[in-house]
Amino acid sequence: MTDENTAAEHPAIEVNGVPAAAAPRPGQCLRTFLREQGALGVKKGCDAGDCGACTVHVDGLPVHSCIYPAMRAEGRAVTTIEGLAAACPGHGRGPGEGLHPMQGRFLDAQGFQCGFCTAGMVMTAATFDDAQLADLPRNLKGNLCRCTGYAAIGRAVLGSADATAPARPDRGAVGEDVPAPAGRRIVTGAERYTLDVTDAEVPRGAAGLAHLKLVRSPHAHARIRSIDAAPAFAVPGVLAVLTHEDAPDVLYSTAQHELETDDPADTRLFDTTVRFVGQRVAAVVGETVAAAEAGVRAVVVDYEVLPPVLTAGAALAPGAPLVHGDKDAAASGIADPARNTVAELHSEVGDVEAGLAGADVVYENTFRTQRVQHVALETHCAIAWTEGDPRDGGALVVRSSTQVPFLVQRSLARLFGLARERVRVVTGRVGGGFGGKQEVLTEDVAALAALRLGRPVQLELTRAEQFQATTTRHPFEIRVRAGARRDGTLTALALDVVTDTGAYGNHGPGVMFHGCNESVSVYRCANKRIDARAVYTHTVPAGAFRGYGLSQTVFAVESAIDELAAGIGMDPLQFRRRTMVRRGDPMIASHAEPEEDVLYGSYGLDQCVDLVTKALRRGRARETRELGPDWLVGEGTALSMIDTVPPRGHHAHSRIAVLADGRVALDVGTAEFGNGTSTVHVQLAATALAGLGIAAADIVLRNADTALTDHDTGAFGSTGTVVAGKATLAAAEELARRIRAFAAEARLPLPARDGGLVAIAAEASRRGVVLEAEGRWGGTPRSVAFNVHGFRVAVHRGTGELQILQSVQAADAGVVVNPRQCRGQVEGGIAQALGAALWENVRIDGTGRVTTDILRQYHVPTFADVPRSEVYFAQTADALGPFGAKSMSESPFNPVAPALANALRAATGIRFTELPLTRDRIYLALREAGRPLPARPDPVTA
């Protein structure tokens, strides 16, 4: 065959107007081909055509490139996000040069948080005509976003950005809608996420980047008799097979906390006992992903299968198989390995039985919440490599999708016996976390392989692995007993909680303790009791999830509060007003003494209740829909409180310096994963530097790199603003003092306008003076933040269909640093909570296997599923937070499910005690209660 014939049969794929240098490999999908051609804006979210993060245009039509064979694109023009502006006749008309109008709209409206979905969203929306723009729920159904709740995306696509939000605010001070520093890079596909590295950064090809895949257990409980790696080594391209014989025999927890003793040391990198379906058994490293995958299939493992225990109830039964019966309680930090109990809590204040006896109404019921997956669009991934010998002056470097780079650094150093400073962990932009990336799930094994092979090794989990082998929200079973008097006094509140932590105890104790704290301490009641146990089972481990246990217990407590209100004949919000804590009240869960370091830095719960009350009233008044007699309508509300910082210390460090060109370099330890931290830090610094010629746009931020700052506990528990932000504020205030002092000494005038720091910077440089400062914060004392949610819903008597007629949330976030961004966090939290309240459920079959391991089996809310929510903020200023700010990232999730269940109760008279509130569950409950309409005649047989 001649070259001409080959060229005719395989014409080149044109990528962004340029013929690709290479031809696709047989069977290769277009996504991987395009990324190999350098189009790193094309993302991988599922590899199954479900999420749309990989959307590109082929001859102008949007396709999911992960399920589009690359060879089908031969001879066609492919456009990625990087080439969109140039490919569109209207390019250049955006707010900046070289933007497609749709990119400009996303930038104007800030239609993103982590931004991992943004390229795909823009590519899809860029093809819409007017008719498609008029029906976004239908036309955006192929693109998922886990962060925004779609409200900001809808505003972006329709070009309806806030009229009140200027494209470039005056200075970028606190209170302004400052755009995210990375915004332009996000909408153009230039922002670099974890695996978006160039050949120059991590070389590919011979002796370059190798790929790691994991052999996983098919059994829920088994002992490994032997592993035969020889067949894998026979696969071309396989470089190494690593098993327990190659891994350090060190017990640790995948959970990452400031205090390592917060979590039990119950996990080995590779173990000889497997405790859930999907647990790592061995790693295969190959020259390519395909070679590594073929090697995984070839490894032969001989298991001695053991009986598993798959539910918390079964795990607590006498004689149950033990999940960690081989562990010593004291050494491992497990409360009672012989009872499958990783942690427990029993405490009482007052006398609950007396409180119940003295009540006019007593309510008692059991509530159940399910496993929920984070579904961050970027899966867990890491690249590890060495720079010299880490034991001899070199370094182990890990680029990871993590919320906690410094804690990962500490864990890797301990695991591999390295000095901490010989390990560097760095993030790119992280594509969503929601608590799921407060773990070490990829870094350890990638590092093991890199140390063994001496070459870069990449591990990227598939979407199926995310479901099977990362972490979920803890399933809770909560028995509530509560009593009230007719005057609205809460006389008793008792919870008996069992949480299922799965096969390992990562976050098991913390989630249990936190779940049993603010959900109870938000109420004034003399008699409270908590009994709680966190229980091991042979199932996929649970972990940190937005709300950290509160969303589960708040569902139970807020349902019970509504039932008590109904029992004493009082409006539920009126009952809450009477019983919720007021400023100055002790915040007591079930210990006689409240936590000393939690203070009312501010208090806006009363405002939140008022805001929701008024919004629901307005909504009722303006409601014009005629739903007809088949629909039952009801309203429901719920409240929640959250400590603004996790307990027992949370540390942050920031460093700030004047650059020679008059701009300011700001290095912060905390990570950005869609929580908006980078924008907030720039605003805090700009505000502290007011009057010195520095605006937000002049501040160059770097973050989440252990080489840049001192220790930072990480981005979880909504600490990016109230802990790391305090460190940045302290640094910026000190820098402002130093600049003023230097200017006075040098007899230079203070700058009168933005950019005016150049003269001072030049003089400092001439004199050899470095104008810099650093700031730290340790996380205490802590304050409290509040959220109140209200729904008005309609339920169809005959089908169980649920319509959300109105959704409103009021939040007490203290001084809101960036109103547009904070509203987006609330909207995103509501949407994620709606998913957990209505649809999402990680199902496990009778063998322990997760059966919902692709997105189309697991209902992440789409654009069409999420109603628009009204968001209001209380007017408070926190005495503890930076410039009066409080946390507001995870807490909007917490009151959503109970508010929805309470609205359903009001509409139907039925108390739903188990999540999710699926249409089937509602239908069956209606039928059981005798509520459905008479069966309609079947149109076929009638």
Cβ at position 113, least distance to ligand FES in Å: 4
Give the range of 81-89, 115-123, 593-601, 751-759 binding ligand FES by CB under 6 A: 115-123
- Which one, 146 or 577, has the nearer CB to ligand FES? 146
Minimum CB distance to ligand FES, residue 192 (Å): 15
Contact of 442 with 461, CB cutoff 8 Å: yes
Q: Which of residues 420-439 bind ligand FES (CB under 6 A)?
A: 432
Residue 287, H or E segment: none
For residue 535, what are the CA distances in angstroms to 478, 502, 532, 849, 886? 13, 7, 10, 19, 33
Q: How far apart are CA 57 and CA 59, in angstroms?
A: 6
| Position 40 contacts ligand FES (CB under 6 A) | no
Site for ligand FES in 665-724 (CB under 6 A): 674
Complete edge-to-edge strand list for the sheet that includes strand 490-502: 341-349, 528-536, 490-502, 476-484, 361-369
Site string for ligand FES, 358-377 (x = CB under 6 A): -------------------x
* CB distance 541 to 271 below 8 Å: no
Q: What is the DSSP string of 550-594?
A: HHHHHHHHHHHHHHHHHHHT--HHHHHHHHB--TTS---SSSSSP
Contact between 145 and ligand FES per CB under 6 A: yes
Q: What is d(CA 453, CA 803) in angstroms, rounded to the nearest whole number?
A: 56
Stretch binding ligand FES (CB under 6 A), from 144-152, 242-250, 785-793, 855-863: 144-152
The CA-CA-CA angle for residues 369, 373, 374, to 5°, reads 120
Decide if residue 114 touches ligand FES (CB under 6 A).
Answer: yes
Binding segment for ligand FES among 143-151, 259-267, 468-476, 930-938 (CB under 6 A)? 143-151
Check residue 373 and report its DSSP letter.
B
Using alpha carbons, select from 580, 606, 584 the residue that is nearest to residue 518. 580
Q: Does residue 524 contact residue 581 with C-beta atoms inside 8 Å?
A: yes
CB of 712 to ligand FES, least distance (A): 22
CB of 145 to ligand FES, least distance (A): 3
The binding track of 374-403 with respect to ligand FES, each residue x by CB under 6 A or -, is: ---x--------------------------
x/- mask, ligand FES, residues 195-234, rule CB under 6 A, reads ----------------------------------------
Selected from 33, 106, 116, 603, the binder of ligand FES by CB under 6 A is 116
Q: Is 146 in the site for ligand FES (CB under 6 A)?
A: yes
Interface residue with ligand FES among 79, 148, 243, 675 (CB under 6 A) is 148
Whether cis (ω within 30° of 0) applies to the bond prior to 95 is no
Shortest distance in whole angstroms from residue 892 CB to ligand FES: 16
Residue 259 — left, alpha, or beta (φ > 0 → left; ψ -120 to 50 → alpha)? Answer: beta
Query: How far from chain centre, in Å, is Cα 700?
Result: 25
Using the 8-state DSSP alphabet, how is residue 812 labeled?
A: E
Tell me whether residue 252 or residue 434 sits nearer to ligand FES (CB atom).
434
Stretch that binds ligand FES, among 110-118, 488-496, 508-516, 839-847 (CB under 6 A): 110-118
Selected range binding ligand FES among 146-154, 262-270, 497-505, 711-719, rule: CB under 6 A: 146-154
16/118 with CB nearer ligand FES: 118
Residues contacting ligand FES: total by CB under 6 A: 13
Residue linked to tokens 């089996």: 857
Amino acid in position 220: A
Structure tokens at 723: 């802990």
Q: Which window, 139-147, 190-198, 228-236, 314-322, contacts ligand FES (CB under 6 A)?
A: 139-147
Q: Which amino acid appears at position 750 of this protein? A: L
Buried b (16+ CB within 10 A) or exposed e, 858-895: bbbbbbebbbebbbbbbebebebbbbbbbbbbbbbbbb
In total, the chain counts a number of residues equal to: 942
Examine residue 152 and tell whether it contacts ligand FES (CB under 6 A): no
Q: Is 115 in the site for ligand FES (CB under 6 A)?
A: yes
Interface segment toward ligand FES; rule CB under 6 A; list 33-41, 128-136, 142-150, 323-331: 142-150
DSSP 728-739: HHHHHHHHHHHH
| Residue 62 vs 636, nearer CB to ligand FES | 62
Considering the rule CB under 6 A, would residue 147 count as an interface residue with ligand FES? yes
Q: Phi, psi (5° rounding) for residue 494? A: -135, 135
Minimum separation from the CB atom of position 381 to ligand FES (A)? 15
Q: What is the DSSP letter of 420?
A: G
Q: Does 820 bind ligand FES (CB under 6 A)?
A: no
Q: C-beta of 419: minimal distance to ligand FES in Å?
A: 36
Choose the binding region for ligand FES from 108-116, 169-177, 347-355, 362-370 (rule: CB under 6 A).
Answer: 108-116
Nearer to ligand FES, 147 or 415 (CB): 147
Q: Which of 752, 797, 836 is nearest to 375 (CA)?
A: 836
Nearer to ligand FES, 117 or 708 (CB): 117
Q: What is the rounded CA–CA span in Å between residue 613 and residue 14?
A: 57
823 lines the binding site for ligand FES (CB under 6 A): no
Among candidate residues 478, 481, 479, the one with its CA nearest the CA of residue 361:
481
Amino acid letter, residue 465: E
Q: Least Å distance between CB 164 and ligand FES?
A: 22
Region from 141-149, 288-296, 756-764, 917-925 binding ligand FES, contact rule CB under 6 A: 141-149
CA 608 to chain CA centroid, Å, is: 25
Q: Can residue 117 be called a binding residue for ligand FES (CB under 6 A)?
A: yes
Residue number, 227 or 376, with CB nearest to ligand FES: 376
Report the greatest alpha carbon distance in the chain: 96
Name the helix (H) or strand (E) containing 23: none
Q: Which is nearer to ligand FES, 467 or 600 (CB)?
A: 467
What's the Cα-to-Cα distance from 54 to each of 29, 33, 191, 199, rounded to whole Å? Answer: 11, 12, 15, 21
- Smallest separation, CB 121 to ligand FES (Å): 7
The values of phi and psi at residue 797, to 5°, are: -60, -35
Residues lying near ligand FES in the complex (CB under 6 A) are found at 112-117, 145-148, 377, 432, 674
